[in-house]
Each structure stands twice: as C-alpha cells, then as structure tokens.
Chain A
Amino acid sequence: MPELPQKEVEEIALLARVHLSAEELADMRSQLGAILEHFGSIAAVDTEGVAPMTHAVPIDLPLREDVPQPSLPPDVALAGTAKRDGDLIVVPAIIPGGE
C-alpha cells in the first residue's frame, strides 16, 4: 500500500482526537501506509470457523456481591485534574463559541 490518502488520515485523527501538524500528517500517511501494507498479509489467512481468542486460560466472568466498596474521597480522586470548581471538573463549552 502506498501512502494513505490525506483525507482518510485526517478522518482517523479526528476519530482518535489527536491533533496533527501538517508535517505529522504527511509522516503518518507514509508510515501508516507502510505498516498496513506489511500487516495486510493477515487478510489472506483462512480463519473460517476459528473462534477469536480472549484468554489463555478460560475463566468465567467474575462477579461479586452487589455491596458498596470503599472508594476514594472526592478530593483525592479529583486531585489530578487541571481545573476544578469544588467537586466539579471545569471544561470548556462543548459547542464551539457557546458558554
């Protein structure tokens, strides 16, 4: 596979929520193209009827009693956030230009 189309890389960057500079975008087009070409070989592998693997040792989904467990106090849990207002996290408006 040659370079990925610019539009496709831009779409993926938007989905991934990663802002790329023009230079990064150009690098990504060729690097992802080369990687996907190399790894595209798996398309030809016959996996008809093969179950996807989930765990090396099969285990049941563990369940616990539905009782409250100790958890972090809000002040401690929120200590890593960049902007706070009391026990709330402050973020910019969801709609650009809004409040």
Chain B
Amino acid sequence: MTVDPAYWSVADIARRIAAGEVSAVEITEAFLARIGKVDPELGAYLVVDETGARVQAQQVDLMRGANLPLGPLAGVPIALKDMIVTKDVVTTAGSKILEGWVPPYDATVVEKLRAAGAVILGKVNCDEFGMGSSTERSAYKQTKNPWDTTRVPGGSSGGSSAAVAAGLCAASLGTDTGGSIRQPASFCGVVGIKPTYGRVSRYGIVAYASSLDQVGPLAHSVADAALVLQAIAGHDARDSTSLPSAAPDFSAGIAAGVAGLKIGLPKEYFAGEIDADVRTALAAAVAALKDKGAEIVDVSLPHTELALPAYYIVAPAEASSNLARYDGIRYGKRADATDLLSLYSRTRGERFGPEVKRRIMLGTYALRSGYYDAFYKKAQQIRTLIKRDFDEAFEKCDVLLTPTTPTAAYELGAKATPLEMYLGDIFTLACNLAGLPGMSVPCGLTSTGLPVGAQLLGKPLDEATLLRTGAVIEAAVGLGDKRPRGFA
C-alpha cells in the first residue's frame, strides 16, 4: 500500500497506526521518501537519521503486533531543531564549532518523545546557536520558505517551520529565546508554541540564553501542537528552572470556544510600522473572535519599546557565558596552536560565525567588570517592569492578541545589517523576557500569498487559554487546506 501522509494530522497518524490501517514503517518510509525528493530544494534537514527512524518505526509495529500499549505519539514522525541534543546523532546547533559532535545522551524532550512512541526523522537547520531570525546564519545551509523559495523561512527555528509546512514531518520541535518558534511559524503558516518558561525541560538543549530559552512544538494545527506539547511538558529534576507543577491536559479545553473570554489588544503592538496585509489579517482574526462571543478590550503595555534593548543585553550576556564552553577542548574541532590561550581564541575565531562572535562580544562588553550594573542588572530590572505591564494587562483580559511579526516572510538577504535584523523581533521578545507562554497561529495570507501569523500571549502556565483562542482563529481565518505551492 502506498500512503501519502505528508499532511495528515498527528492524531490521525497515531490513530491509523493504532488501528492497524497503516504501519509505522509505511508512514516513516513515506516521509523519508518525501524528504529525499523535496528537501534538496528546501534545505530544512541537516541530518536525516534514516536508520534510527526505521528502527523506531519497526519497534512501534512490533509493539502493536504484540498488543502492547502504544504511546500517544506512536509512529508519529517528528523533526528536531539542531539545538536539541540527540544520542548518537550529530548535533551542531548550526555551528562549525560543533561540527561532527555526536552527543552521548538524549535531551529530556527527546527521551519524552521516544517514550511517547514518536519516530525522530532527523535534525533540522537553524541559525547558529539560535542567534538569528531568518536561518541565514546557519553555518551549513540556507533553508528556504516553502511558500516562496526566494524568501526566508524565519528563524532561528527555520528548519523546524519549513519542514512542517512542506510536509517533511508531522510536527517538529524548535527553541524560542526571543521569538524563534513563533516568528518562523508565522512566516511558514504553521502553529508554534513557546511554553511558559520552566514548563518544558531545558536539559540537553544547547544553551543560548538560559533565562529565556524554551522548547516548544511547531505543527500543522493547534490540536497537533497541543499533543506534542503534552508529550514534552512536565517537571524535570535535571533542569533547576523546571517548574514543579504538573502539566494539565492541553487538548481537553481546545474546543471550549471564546465566549465570555476577554481578549486584550495592546495598543503599543499596533502603533508602529506594520504591513497593511498583516493589519488586515489581524483585523479578520479580531472580528472572528468577537463573532464567537469574545470581548475585545484595549490594553496598554507601556514598557514595550524597552523589550528590544533589554533583550539584546540579556541574551548576548548570557550567551557570552554559555558559549565559553566551546573552546576546542571537550567538543568538536580545534585549531592548531602552541599555547592554550591561542588554542581557545583561534578555535573560537575560526569556527564561530559572524553573528555569534558579535553577540559574544556584545555580551562580554556588557558583563565587563564595572559595567554589570549599567547593562545586565539594568536590563533585568527592565524585565520586571515589562512583567508588571503584563500583570496589569491580565487584570483586564484573559489573553493578548498581537501580530507575530510586522511583515510576512521577507526575501533572502533582505536584512542587510545586524540591527535591521534585530528590529524585526519587536513583537516576540517581551514574551520571553516576562517568561510568558506565547503562540503564533496562522490567520490568513497576504495579497501575494504569504502566511500571516497572529500571536497570542497568556498568563504564566495558561497555555490552555492560548490553545482554545488559537483554535477559534484557526477555524475562522486559518489556512484550512491551503498548502505551499509546489509542496501540496
């Protein structure tokens, strides 16, 4: 039997395998074949683990054959951002400094996916160490946007978003430090969730900025994203910032609707330069929510404009510390040198890319002796001000709705300077600084056929409200059966 499960839902794949309508091996082979056919043009995957995927799929089929209980994601093919450590599968974080590194362990999220029965197809591309918004900063390849291959897929989880959009996995995991799940999800017309900080374990995630990083799902639908989030969420003793609270049933309330829900529109997110098509799509989402019984309220987040400078101090500062471990000693390649200091400096100079060097330099500048209070501490205090803004807004509403990005996906090479690239992150950063859950859900196409994302921001630990609100947007103004041309 030949099956074409490229755009089947996560639930559908798991159900059909459990029911014996199709085998896990057939599903995996179909995805591997599609990757072989489509990915050379798209460039989403860095590593396709054909052998590992086949073994996992065979195990699912053996378990089913033996009438053993199957996990909730049994046989569901998933791609992982290359920031996520995988035992025996090369993990580079998109950097030459980790070229060829084969980790000796799995990240907690990978252990959890495997326990749920998921089939790991491989590792997908990203900006080096998650530092970028277009996946143009990967040291290995340029991933393209399936909706228009002259455009970026977003970043830094651009491989994760492109792979889902092009039907090269059923769902994927990304990491989000300042928007790196939501922005590429928006650019590629898929759903992406950045959970509450601490909701998902960071054990085995290549650290970029530890107080901001979170892992989350990218998927075709809100329901799919909820199922994957369910599999990876929960307390982990190996991550000291992991929240002790148990994860609720994320799928339970998805269909609850928005009647009676108060949805806040923060005026600062609609005041600046936003593309007209993005405004139109957002207006349609707002109208749909109102039509379904939500109350729309205007709110203000007065410190919004400080999110950008605060982020670009906190994140590089933490990165400069986190990336100190890449010195040519314990991982990857090392440069030729006759003394230890030049071994460190030359290895790092030769194998880090320009954006990573820039952020390490920026972070080192901010953390120098005598500068800590003026930069890092100040930025952390601004985080408190930003968090207070959200606390006050959430006294007036249950969830916030904003554009995910000011524009749809831009052309490859369009953002010429580093600063220009940073400014595109304007709507996604505050969520990480405040540790809130955030989500991007498709809310239509531009006049030129590019996806637009609506961003939902929730109270800490209230992913459930994001999901039920997102489901209403998805049903009313989502992309439905629209697929990227050439990948349908």
Contact = CB atoms under 8 A, between A and B. Distances in A.
Interface in A1-59: 9, 12-21, 24, 27-28, 31-32, 34-36, 38-43, 45, 47, 50-57, 59
A55 B241 contact: yes
B461 A18 contact: no
Interface in A54-73: 54-57, 59, 61-62, 64, 72
Contact of B197 (A13, A50, A56): A56
A62 B435 contact: no
Contacts of B313: 39, 42
A19 B101 CA distance: 22
Nearest to B377: A52
Contacts of A39: 308-309, 312-313
A53 B380 contact: yes
B487 interface: no
A80 B309 CA distance: 37
Contacts of A86: none
Nearest to B313: A39
Contacts of A21: 349
A93 B346 contact: no
A14 B360 CA distance: 11
A47 B382 contact: yes
B69 to A, nearest CB: 27
Contacts of A36: 362, 365
Contacts of B333: 82
Contacts of A27: 354
A24 B240 CA distance: 38
Interface residues of A, number: 56
B348 interface: yes
Contacts of A9: 361
B368 A12 contact: yes
B117 to A, nearest CB: 25
Contacts of A43: 374, 378
A86 to B, nearest CB: 16
B20 to A, nearest CB: 38
Contacts of A32: 358, 361-362, 365
Interface in B405-447: 417-419, 422, 433-436
B328 A82 contact: yes
A24 B350 CA distance: 12
B339 A51 contact: no
B47 interface: no
A18 B460 contact: no
B332 interface: yes
Given A57-B196, A57-B435, A94-B340, A17 B327 contact: yes
Given A35-B312, A80-B332, A92 B434 contact: no
A63 to B, nearest CB: 10
Contacts of A35: 312, 358, 362, 418-419, 422
A76 B102 CA distance: 10
B329 A81 contact: yes
Given A54-B211, A95-B339, A20 B357 contact: yes
B1 to A, nearest CB: 41
B488 interface: no
Contacts of A89: 329-330
A50 B308 CA distance: 19
Contact of B378 (A15, A45, A95): A45
B66 interface: no
Given A55-B435, A96-B338, A19 B211 contact: no
B345 interface: yes
A16 B243 contact: no
Contacts of B327: 17
B348 A15 contact: no
Nearest to A81: B330
A93 B339 CA distance: 5
Contact of B364 (A16, A53, A55, A94): A16
A55 B197 CA distance: 8
B149 interface: no
A42 B306 contact: yes
Contacts of A98: 339
Contacts of B419: 31, 34-35, 38
Contacts of A76: 104
A15 B384 contact: no
Interface of A: 9, 12-21, 24, 27-28, 31-32, 34-36, 38-43, 45, 47, 50-57, 59, 61-62, 64, 72, 76-77, 79-83, 89, 91-98
> 6 closest pairs, A vs B, by CB?
A56-B435, A19-B349, A52-B380, A39-B309, A53-B383, A47-B381
14 contacts: A9-B361, A18-B360, A31-B358, A35-B419, A39-B313, A43-B378, A51-B381, A52-B383, A56-B196, A62-B237, A62-B240, A91-B329, A91-B340, A96-B339
Given A15-B364, A19-B342, A79-B104, 4 more contacts: A39-B313, A53-B387, A56-B435, A59-B243
